[in-house]
Structures are given as C-alpha cells and as structure tokens.
C-alpha cells in the first residue's frame, strides 16, 4: 500500500487532501502541530513532525509555509529514506520578482519548494494555483462584517480564484498516479474576475448591495500596516495587483482535464462560507 505524508495537513489545501487520500484507501500520515487533538478521517495517522512521518513513506506533499526551515532538510532526508515522489505546493507567480509575491511575507517559499522538488532526483510535480478563494475572506471579511463596502486598491485588478478543494483534488492525482510527473501545473478557477466583480459575486450570494471602493495604493498600504500586516506584504500585494489591472487573468482547464469535472465556482465557495462575510450577530 502507498504511504503518503502530507505536510500542512490542517490547512486549506492539506485538510481536504488528507480526506481525499484516505477515501482512496492509501495510508496517510498527516503532519500537525497538535497530533493528539487534531481530527482526521479514520485510519489517518497524525504526526507532530514531518521527520516522524517520513520513514516508509512513498510520496510527500510539500507545503513550504508549514515546513518553514524544515523544508530543505526534509527533501534531503526524503531521498535517503526511499521516497519516490514529491508534490510541491507552489504558486502561479512563482517565477515573478519576489517584490510581487505577497505570500512570501506570510511564510510561503513557492520558488524554493518547486526547485527543491525538481532538483531532488525523485519523481516530482509542482502545483501552481492562482489565488485561493479563501484569500478573499481573509482580505475582506472584516470589512463586510462591518458594512457593505470593501475598500482597496485597483478595482479592475484581475484574478481567477480557485477553491482549495480543487487544488487538493489535483494534488491527490499527482500523488496517486503517474499522470502529472515532471509537470508544473497551473491551476485556476473557472472564471476571471476584477476585484469589483468579486465583490458583486459576494453581494449576489449574500443578497446584499455590496460594492468595491477603490482607494489610492498608499492609503491601502496604510490600512494593511494598521491591521498589523508587514509593510513588505502590503507593498508586494499592491505591486502584484498593479500588473493585473485591466488584464483579465488567464484561466486554465487543468482541473477539468485532471479531475474530470469543472472547477468549483467562486460563488459556490462563498455560499458554503457565507458566515465569514456576515456579522455574527445577524440572524
């Protein structure tokens, strides 16, 4: 039986990935900081460190944010332990200048994790998703819980957000089959939206008159810093958005091709997570 080690197992991609692998009947070792209390499907073994779960594993899902400084040593140890395949969670903008990669300032090492997998000498796949659907809850939920306006930079900046369950579904295929070996797979949702259109989608789902109010980049930067985000993150996020203004984000068909179904819509994701955008005292 295949034994698969999943790092970042309680994250937005890791948790559905663990569930999908368990449903496929493979042995799953899920890395979590709280192995004694984490809840996973029956049969999944929770481990406190990636090193603990590595012996006997045939494949590893690499989440650079979850691994931190353990990333490079883990890849080296995977070779010694007889792992045959690495699947890296990277990002669609991994080749961009670091100054336009805001997730780096939240702990992601998209370029590095991909390159380590490619250079490992093992079978490898790199997943390069666009913005996670959940990113927009993180960015906008507080404003939408407080009112009907999202203030931010560049109303016409474009993205094609992907639901994390779809990333997990592709990751499962990469871990369980040979179909994607040696590929850097660009993953997107089914449709490109501007920031203003994304807010409209949320408003339609919630049946609220929401709108996106564009503010100057410097004002947006001050807001980010004001809520405790690093200035470097704010600068990178604004720079990332700036290059997408009035340029519809590319949409790929990889989810359709690999998983055999259409990717989930942003509207469907909002409907499933509507509580994130709603004042908890309502209803």
Domains of the chain are: 3-132+163-188+250-264 (3.40.50.720)
Tens-place pLDDT, residues 72-105: 999 999 999 999 999 999 999 999 999 999 999 9
CB–CB of 177/268 below 8 Å? Answer: no
Measuring CA to CA, how many Å separate 180 from each of 50, 79, 123, 124, 254? 24, 20, 10, 8, 11
Q: Is the pLDDT of residue 245 over 70?
A: yes
* pLDDT, mean of residues 97-125: 96
* pLDDT, mean of residues 188-194: 98
Q: CA 224 to CA 246: how far, in whole Å?
A: 23
Name the pairing type of β-strands 193-194 and 149-152.
unpaired
pLDDT, position 227: 85
pLDDT, position 235: 96
Q: For tokens 């989608």, name the residue.
A: 201
Confidence class for position 178, pLDDT limits 50, 70, 90: very high
Confidence class for position 206, pLDDT limits 50, 70, 90: very high
Number of residues that make up the chain: 283
pLDDT, position 1: 64
């Amino acid at each position: 039986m295949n034994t698969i080690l999943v790092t970042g197992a309680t994250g937005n991609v890791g948790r559905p990935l663990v569930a999908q692998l368990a449903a496929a009947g493979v042995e799953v070792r899920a890395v979590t900081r709280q192995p004694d209390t984490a809840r996973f499907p029956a049969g999944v073994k929770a481990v406190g460190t990636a090193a603990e779960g590595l012996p006997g594993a045939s494949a590893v899902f690499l989440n650079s944010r979850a691994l931190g400084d353990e990333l490079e040593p883990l890849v080296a140890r995977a070779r010694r332990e007889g792992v045959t395949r690495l699947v890296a969670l990277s990002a669609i903008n991994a080749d961009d200048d670091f100054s336009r990669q805001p997730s780096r300032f939240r702990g992601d090492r998209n370029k590095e994790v991909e390159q380590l997998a490619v250079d490992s000498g093992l079978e490898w796949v790199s997943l390069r998703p666009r913005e996670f659907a959940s990113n927009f809850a993180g960015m906008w939920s507080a404003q939408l819980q407080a009112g009907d306006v999202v203030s931010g930079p560049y109303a016409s900046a474009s993205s094609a957000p992907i639901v994390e369950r779809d990333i997990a579904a592709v990751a499962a295929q990469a871990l369980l089959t040979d179909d994607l070996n040696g590929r850097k797979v660009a993953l997107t949702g089914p449709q490109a939206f501007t920031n203003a259109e994304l807010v409209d989608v949320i408003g339609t789902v919630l049946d609220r008159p929401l709108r996106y109010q564009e503010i100057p980049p410097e004002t947006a930067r001050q807001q980010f810093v004001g809520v405790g985000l690093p200035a470097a993150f704010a600068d990178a996020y604004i720079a990332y958005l700036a290059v997408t203004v009035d340029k519809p984000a590319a949409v790929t068909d990889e989810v359709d091709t690999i998983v055999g179904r259409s990717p989930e819509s942003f509207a469907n994701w909002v409907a499933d997570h509507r509580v994130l955008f709603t004042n908890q005292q309502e209803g």
